[in-house]
Structure 1
Amino acid sequence: MKKFALAVDFFLYIESLEVNLKERIMGLDYGSKTIGVAISDALGLTAQPFETIERNAENKLRRSLARIAEIVKEKDIKKIVVGLPVNMDGRSGERVALTLEFVEKLKSRVDVPIIMQDERLTTKEADEILDESGVKKQDRKQFIDQVAASIILKEYMEKENGQ
């Protein structure tokens, strides 16, 4: 009973603080077969992997856009950050054009600002994180895009916070 009372006291203390809540932000890693989704916490401190949207059915883009819009509504997302897959030398390639086309279609589905963020090396970094976390190579495919999305989002948040 004492532990419960302490937990209630702690909860009331946290609730009484004037916490500077920030807007929840979504990060997206757009790919030809999947879209990695990450979401920030309400304080704007962390970017958490959230979901991988599979794009392997008919009308795959329409369904993907509908799912993103659903998450935006459910999680009260106020901004979306989409990874921009520029080449290592900074030039735009075919993937950039496809991503920009995706963003234009997404704009018609959601009423929140969409920001582009350089995503160079995020998939490589995501693979390293999963490796260090002990995720087997054959199991990484299901997580790598959402982890990459969390890196894209984290880098954007750090840039916005001047870190």
Structure 2
Amino acid sequence: MKLLALDVGERRIGLASGVAEIGTALPAGVIHRTRLTADVQAVIEAASQRQSDAIVVGVPYRPNGEESPQTEYVRGFVRALRRQATLPVHEVDEVFSSMEAEGLLRDAGREPSRDKGAIDATAAVIILRRFLESGGGAS
């Protein structure tokens, strides 16, 4: 099963793609946000181009599991995506994924502050890995 993962932010949506059966998760770029309907269509197009079987969206909860205003913001995007997409849309907790992504990029010798898109795409990789590790995408 091919998957497209999303790290949904206010300015960008980080993308990662992978194959569940072999556990791959690779950065796949970013979508620069414009308006909700266009952003949803861009995600659907990205999923189609990658021949994805499902979409995984990282939903930001607080470390204690409670919801925040950002949780509701991303859930609104998920609702719009589910209305338009013909693919299944899964949710996974993405707590601290962006901070973890920044650390990974620093460890690789990159300066995350210079490339916010790289942070978003790497966060999407982390989201996809969490989904796969939780048993999501298992046949």
Give deviations 1:60-117, integer Å, cap 9, x for gaps: 2222111111111111111111111001111101111111111110112211111110
How many residues align? The count is: 137
Letter in 1 for 2:41: A
Letter in 2 for 1:24: K
**Residue in structure 1 matched with residue 80 of structure 2 by the alignment:** 105
Structure 1: gaps spanning 5 or more residues: 1-22
**Cα distance in 2 for residues equivalent to 1:152 and 1:32:** 17
**Residue in structure 2 matched with residue 46 of structure 1 by the alignment:** 24
Higher relative contact order, chain-length normalized (CA < 8 Å, sep 6+):
2
> TM (normalized to structure 1)?
0.78
2:40 partner SS: helix
Larger radius of gyration: 1
Q: In the alignment, which of 12, 37, 41 is matched to residue 15 of structure 2?
A: 37
User: Once superposed, which parts of structure 1, at least 4 consecutive aligned residues long, lie more than 3 Å away?
Assistant: 41-44
Q: CA RMSD in A?
A: 1.7
**Cα distance in 1 for residues equivalent to 2:30 and 2:40:** 13
Structure 2: gaps spanning 5 or more residues: none
**Cα distance in 2 for residues equivalent to 1:85 and 1:52:** 18
Q: What are the within-5 Å matches in structure 2 for residues 61-76 of structure 1?
A: 61-76=36-51
**Cα distance in 1 for residues equivalent to 2:59 and 2:82:** 16
